[in-house]
Amino acid sequence: MALNEDQPRLGCGRIIDDVWASIDQPPTVHEQTCPDCQSARLALHQLEAVAGSLRERDRDDPALQPGLRVKEAIMMVARAEVRRSRRAPLATTALGVIDISEQALSGLIRFAASTLPGVRARRCTISSTPGTPQSAPAAVDAGNVRITLTVAIASGVRIPATMDLLRERINAVVQAQTSITMQQIDIIVEDLYDF
Amino acid sequence: MTSDQSLRASAVDLEALADTLSDALAAHPGVVRLEPTVRSVIDRWTPAAIDQMHRTLRPAARPPVVARDGLVLSMTDLVLTLQIDLATDIRRSALELAQEAQDLAGRLVQDAGLTIGSIDVTILAIEGARTP
């Protein structure tokens, strides 16, 4: 029993949709010799040209462009999806689990660092394993959070004393916000800037 | 009531509960916003007729799921599972705020006469407060 009996076929037995699906490809061996397919391809080429022309016109039609609200909604989702990264569990209550995304934690650390005069936070990587940033584990171990933070500092700032203050500030802010106590805070001063 | 009618009724109840949760959590002091999901945005754009069609076509055994920005509600046998995704104000403890959000959601779910399976809260961002 033949399948797709409800779909129009060419004289050679091929379904027209199959010819259409490969209209942008060079003709197959069969199509090179089959008059039905050659005729169909010629007709479909014209249709493809018209369809392509309509697509191009729609692309530039101001009435068909997404509005600002739509674009903003898409960007809001995109940013939120980025934030849905690895998570660190903070508490388990009678109702369920409370956790924080790695992105949120990283942003908090950079914010905490930037509250110190003369310090500009740059990259922050979070790890639960000494020495190496985590590559892909599903969750951050909240009981064993180790970070590496790169910063630029103002020239003239005393680096050792500032690093001590920076560690205290990061630990205090993260503790107050999340109850996480950092196990290790590595800081790399990678740049100096002028006031 | 047939199982299909029951399913549809519970889906309608979830829609109302999702709106209540969304309004209450968004208004809670310290919550900067409920973070949007792909599903919540698509649901917002989907016309009601198409939404109804999806609901009709959904297999009867599949539990109803309703999404709003920062909220995903799913229900099986009148037991509700809720995921909340928050952005919080840095002037408040994020953990305390998440617990408050969890408690608030728990009360509203119970007020709706549903049993709580779990209410999980994820802090997706900690930010400065909105400026009026």
Please write down the HEC assignment for all residues of chain B.
CCHHHHHHHHHHHHHHHHHHHHHHHHHCCCEEEECCCHHHHHHHHCCHHHHHHHHHHCCCCCCCEEEECCEEEEEECCEEEEEEEEEEECCCCHHHHHHHHHHHHHHHHHHCCCEEEEEEEEEEEEECCCCC
Helix, strand or coil, per DSSP, at residue A180: coil
CA distance A98 to chain B (A): 5
- CA dist B93 and A47 (Å) reads 62
Per-residue tens of pLDDT for chain A, all 195 residues: 444 456 667 878 888 888 888 888 899 999 999 888 888 888 888 888 888 888 888 887 877 777 777 777 777 777 777 667 788 999 999 999 999 998 899 989 999 999 999 999 999 988 876 655 545 556 788 888 899 999 999 998 999 999 999 999 999 999 999 999 999 999 999 999 986
In chain A, where the domains are located: 16-62, 100-193
Confidence band for B49, pLDDT divided at 50, 70 and 90? very low
Q: A90 contacts in B (CB within 8 Å)?
A: 95, 98, 123
Give yes or no for A152 touching B (CB within 8 A). no
What ipTM, to 2 d.p.?
0.80
Is any Cβ of chain B less than 8 angstroms from the Cβ of A71? no
Distances (CA, A) of A192 to A123, A152, A153, B13, B68: 15, 5, 5, 59, 45
Q: A96 is written with which tokens?
A: 């369920």
| pLDDT over 90 (residue B101) | yes
Q: How far is CA A27 from the centre of its chain?
A: 39
Domain assignment of residue B132, yes or no: no
- Average pLDDT of the segment spanning B89-115: 95
Mean pLDDT of the region B41-59: 56
Number of compact structural domains in chain B:
1
Encoded tokens for A20: 């259409």
In a domain, B12, yes or no: yes
Residue numbers in A near B37 (CB within 8 A): 77, 80-81
- In Å, how far from its chain's centre is CA B2? 26
Sort out which chain B residues have CB atoms less than 8 A from A95's CB and list them: 102-103, 105-106, 116, 118-119
Q: By the CB < 8 Å criterion, does A172 face chain B? A: no
Residue B35 domain boundaries: 3-127
Domain of B57: which CATH number?
Answer: 3.30.70.1350
In a domain, B36, yes or no: yes
Q: Does A146 touch chain B (CB under 8 A)?
A: no
Please name the CATH architecture into which domain A100-193 falls. Answer: 2-Layer Sandwich (3.30)
Residue B61 has pLDDT above 70, yes or no: no
Interface test with A, best of B44, B83, B109, B126 (most A CBs within 10 A): B126
Q: Is residue B64 part of a domain?
A: yes
